[in-house]
């Protein structure tokens, strides 16, 4: 500081006293993993290539026009005509929190289907935004019937129902047909977690009457995490726009994001935050790939590969945790056989075969492995390779029991 007590310009202080040495970390050289866990899966090479294109500014007309393309393709992939269908500038949990932060008002009753890890996460978020949360419970790996949901709505009369369409922790797929209609009879909004279903499992948001859905890119879209799909129905937008208070989250305030991404009345777009430009290139390419393949073909591919995988698992004596009626094709939970050390096997796969599969989480810790065949990785060669590695893993623990 100068003698007069006025701080000098910091532009002239070059002395690196606190940390004198610059660390030298060499070349980044990630191992060549085959990612068959609960996500991320391997990104499509075209997506990685798109992400390395030179940047443009987030207010550039070319960027805003690309955003329109993203929004249009996202509507197709989710089968919705919702005007507000956008990529959120964070990973899947950010889009999840965007639903809660924007749609929950203090004191709102929020009913949540809890049959895995991600229902309770919705409750945790709901708590933070002042909701009165109610758990609707089922064992991990099961799903709720239409009648169970109907009864719970009648009993609790919530403002919001949160359901996990595709439970990444259990591999169960929650049927949602007719649920939106039920909710709307009770003046309730339906939020759906589509993180592990988007583009890999039929998602009919408009047909099902879903009011808010969020997803991740790193599962069936085969784009690295960093941006996440979100959509609000007009009903959801109406609740948001009628709020008398500010949303209690600045970054995820969708009133403000809407004025940037959608423009106020088709007019000027106001700056909110800097969008993750390269990630937007990534999701743009990932969605293009879905549109080229076509949704129906893509959904069928996921199912065919999954059914092949399930048959192959059976041949080496492994069983699935979830009933086939509700089993996700994108993510399979495989029971750890009696006497097998589950973590020892996943470690072997990672270290010997460069292959990542997931361990069980929460109630299923130690009981299942979680194996994702998603998007780019939903292929017969990948399924076959995973089975071969599992076979070796079981053999090394002396637990391989082939079925003939």
**x-or-dash pattern for a second copy, window 265-304, by CB under 8 A?**
------xxxxxxxxx-xx-xx--x-xxx-xxx--xx--x-
Alpha-carbon gap, residue 77 to 213, rounded angstroms: 12
Alpha-carbon gap, residue 125 to 106, rounded angstroms: 12
Q: Which of residues 214-233 bind a second copy (CB under 8 A)?
A: 216, 218, 224-227
Judge whether 392 and 400 are in contact, CB under 8 Å. no
Q: Residue 234 Cβ, how far from a second copy at the closest point, in Å?
A: 14
Tokens of 181: 């209609």
Residue 236 interacting with a second copy (CB under 8 A): no
Q: Which of residues 373-402 bind a second copy (CB under 8 A)?
A: none
Give DSSP secondary structure letters for 192-217. Answer: EE-TTTTTTS---HHHHT-SEEE--S
Residue 107 interacting with a second copy (CB under 8 A): no
User: In terms of CB distance, is 308 or 326 closer to a second copy?
Assistant: 326
Peptide bond into 239 cis (omega under 30): no
Residue 7 interacting with a second copy (CB under 8 A): yes
Tokens of 46: 């075209």
User: In terms of CB distance, is 95 or 340 closer to a second copy?
Assistant: 95
Alpha-carbon gap, residue 383 to 375, rounded angstroms: 12
User: In terms of CB distance, is 300 or 395 closer to a second copy?
Assistant: 300
Residue 201 interacting with a second copy (CB under 8 A): yes
Q: Which of residues 313-372 bind a second copy (CB under 8 A)?
A: 325-326, 329, 350, 356, 361
Residue 93 interacting with a second copy (CB under 8 A): yes
Alpha-carbon gap, residue 346 to 358, rounded angstroms: 7
Judge whether 157 and 109 are in contact, CB under 8 Å. yes
**x-or-dash pattern for a second copy, window 53-82, by CB under 8 A?**
xxxxxx-x-xx--x--x--xx-xx--xxx-
Alpha-carbon gap, residue 402 to 404, rounded angstroms: 6
Residue 124 interacting with a second copy (CB under 8 A): yes
Alpha-carbon gap, residue 320 to 337, rounded angstroms: 11
Stretch that binds a second copy, among 141-149, 311-319, 337-345, 384-392 (CB under 8 A): 141-149
User: In terms of CB distance, is 69 or 399 closer to a second copy?
Assistant: 69
């Amino acid at each position: 500081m100068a003698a007069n007590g006025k701080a000098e310009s910091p532009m002239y202080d070059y002395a690196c006293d606190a940390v004198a040495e610059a660390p030298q970390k060499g070349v980044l050289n990630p191992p060549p993993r085959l990612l068959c866990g609960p996500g991320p899966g391997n990104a499509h090479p075209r997506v990685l290539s798109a992400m390395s294109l030179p940047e443009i500014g987030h207010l550039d007309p070319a960027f805003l026009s690309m955003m329109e393309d993203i929004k249009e393709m996202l509507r197709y992939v989710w089968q919705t005509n919702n005007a507000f269908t956008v990529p959120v500038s964070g990973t899947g949990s950010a889009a999840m929190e965007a639903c809660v932060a924007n749609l929950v008002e203090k004191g709102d009753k929020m009913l949540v289907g809890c049959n895995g890890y991600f229902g309770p996460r919705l409750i945790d978020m709901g708590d933070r935004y002042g909701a009165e949360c109610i758990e609707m419970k089922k064992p991990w790996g099961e799903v709720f019937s239409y009648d169970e949901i109907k009864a719970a709505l009648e009993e609790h009369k919530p403002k919001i129902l949160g359901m996990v369409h595709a439970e990444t922790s259990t591999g169960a797929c929650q049927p949602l047909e007719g649920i939106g209609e039920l909710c709307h009879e009770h003046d309730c909004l339906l939020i759906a977690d589509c993180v592990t279903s988007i583009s890999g499992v039929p998602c009919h948001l408009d047909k099902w009457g879903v009011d808010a859905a969020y997803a991740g890119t790193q599962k069936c879209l085969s784009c690295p995490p960093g941006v996440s799909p979100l959509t609000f129905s007009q009903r959801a937008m109406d609740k948001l726009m009628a709020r008398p208070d500010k949303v209690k989250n600045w970054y995820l305030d969708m009133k403000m994001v809407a004025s940037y991404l959608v423009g106020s009345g088709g007019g000027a777009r106001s700056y909110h935050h800097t969008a993750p430009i390269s990630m937007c290139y990534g999701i743009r390419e990932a969605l293009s790939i879905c549109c080229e393949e076509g949704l129906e073909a893509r959904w069928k591919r996921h199912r065919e590969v999954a059914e092949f995988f399930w048959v192959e698992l059976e041949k080496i004596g492994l069983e699935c945790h979830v009933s086939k009626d509700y089993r996700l094709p994108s993510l399979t939970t495989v029971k750890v056989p009696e006497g097998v050390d589950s973590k020892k096997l996943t470690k072997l796969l990672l270290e010997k075969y460069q292959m990542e599969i997931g361990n069980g989480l929460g109630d299923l810790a130690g009981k299942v492995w979680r194996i994702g065949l998603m998007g780019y990785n939903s292929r017969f060669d990948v399924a076959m390779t995973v089975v071969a590695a599992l076979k070796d893993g079981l053999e090394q623990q002396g637990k391989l029991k082939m079925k003939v």
